[in-house]
Amino acid sequence: MEVFENISLAPKTTMRIGGSARYFAELKTKEDVETAWKFRTEKNLPLVILGAGSNTVFPDEGVEALVVHINNNSSENNGDKIRVGSGKFLATFISEMAGQGLDLSALAGIPGTVGGAVFGNAGQGPKGIWIDSFLTGVEVFQDGKWKTFLKFECGFGYRESRFKILPETIIWEAVFSPPKREPREIEKEIKKLLNHRKETQLFGRTAGSCFKGLSDGTPAWKLIDAAGLRGYKSGGVQISEKHANFLLNFEGKGTYEDAVSIVDKVRTSVPGLKEVEMRFFEKNGKVRY
């Protein structure tokens, strides 16, 4: 494992916002993970874990931390169980499984990696299907040790998992048991969901959903829209006109403080909407929201 210094983080996130990481490393093997943990321990640094950067915003002054990018893209089919590396893009994994007649189509269109999706228990809303519907277990590196958690030990809920409470936990692999279905039918369903997302959601210099919807099923975008904040701007960042729960770095000149300003505006303007889905890091490597 090679450790780099002062690596720009903006190109590694979908919003294209942020300064540099004091240290940065790619983790491809378990040995890399152990080496990275030893490095951050010796340097007394926070550990920041990065997947596809599709829900992450870094401060413009950068972070004094070891930022590690999870690059474990392995996958292994053991019959009724599929073991996949957390660095694999979720879209790629869904497509690969479809070709084998294994149905994960309900997750189609969710951005990011398998690890990120497990971390936030990604899915289709509070009344829909989440990734834990297909999981049987997770292998992680936590507090300097390798650990395996069965699904019931992961604390999954609506957009929740035990790993959110322990953000320095490295999710390394996940084990799935998808239902079987005709590949042609799976691909048809994937196409349908992707077309719907293209019509209703945003792509480009943006991120996934900014706010967590309410537990009664009310989506965050409806509440933001009702408060008259659709299209609201702060500097170079805007609440999308197309989907009111998406932030857009609309000219590529948005800053961390622009994005924070919008989040704070929504939190003070919309009763009950406080939980932020995106991860806003501070310079010290801690999560602001």
Which residues does the annotation mark as catalytic? 159, 209, 275
**In angstroms, rounded to a whole number, what is the distance separating the alpha carbons of residues 201 and 2?**
37
Residue 20: both structure tokens together: 């540099």
| Three-state SS letters, 220-282 | HHHHHHHCCCCCCEECCEEECCCCCCCEEECCCCCCHHHHHHHHHHHHHHCCCCCCECCEEEC
Beta-carbon neighbour count of residue 31 at 10 Å?
10
CA 41, 167, 77: angle at the middle one, nearest 5? 100
**In angstroms, rounded to a whole number, what is the distance separating the alpha carbons of residues 57 and 19?**
10
DSSP run (H or E) holding 90: helix 90-99
237-239 sheet: strands from edge to edge: 233-234, 237-239, 247-249
